[in-house]
Each structure stands twice: as structure tokens, then as C-alpha cells.
Structure 1
Amino acid sequence: MVNIAPEIFNNMAKIKVTQVKSAIDRPERQKLTLKALGLNKMHATREVEATPQILGMIRKVTHLVKVEEA
């Protein structure tokens, strides 16, 4: 589970999402989730708003990404 402080969620702050593991040999749904987050290569980083939708996507691929405050 992604541990994101409640104040980040309340302020709709930006978070940095970095892909740290490959999408090779992963279910298609996880590959599509990474694509929706804008992550297409290893070590790709995107800065996104901490919306409920984004946090839900991150939760589904938490084993493939690293999350930090922006």
C-alpha cells in the first residue's frame, strides 16, 4: 500500500511517480495503468496531482513504482 500523508491528498499536491521495475511479463492491466500514469520506460518520472484516481492507479502498480512528494 502506498503511504501518502493525508495532507498531500487534502491539498491536491503534486507527487513524483517513478517506474523502478519493468512492465515485461506483467498483466496487460498493469501495463495499461503504467501507460495511463505516463510511465513508459524504466526510471521514467512523472509529476502528477494526488487525486483519488491517480492514487488508485498507483495502488495497483505499487510494486513497480516509487512515490515521493514533489
Structure 2
Amino acid sequence: MRKEFEINGCIEVQPEITEDEFWSIFIDFVESKGWSFGGGISEIHDGYYILSNGQKGKSVLDENPDL
């Protein structure tokens, strides 16, 4: 039997790292440990979620009013 941990947080990276690069490195790390990951990823810039078209979406504070 395996157990799971739910992750709820942000990882800050250098500005030149793309979402695809980060995702690849993250998944490679997880899989190198024999683990698996189920979930998604959202890019945040200056406190706003970035939409697939590159524009700013909702503020993270709209989703997390306690922050």
C-alpha cells in the first residue's frame, strides 16, 4: 500500500524558466524517485494567473483571500 501527499503551494524559479521546462524538470525528479504525480500546473506572474494566451487572468488573491 502506498500513501499520498497533497501539495498546495508555489515554487519560485528564475524568470527565464518556462512552464514547460519547469514541468519537465519537476516530473523527471518525481519519476526518478519511483513516485507518480497527478495534478496540474498554473503559471503565476506578479500575483496573477497567466492564461494560455499569455494574458493575465484572475489574481491569486481572488482564489485565496486569506493571503
Q: TM class, shorter-chain normalised?
A: under 0.3
Structure (1 or 2) with the greater helix fraction:
1
TM-score by length of 1: 0.24
Q: Which one has the largest radius of gyration?
A: 2
TM-score by length of 2: 0.25
Q: Which has the higher contact order (CA 8 A, sep 6+)?
A: 1
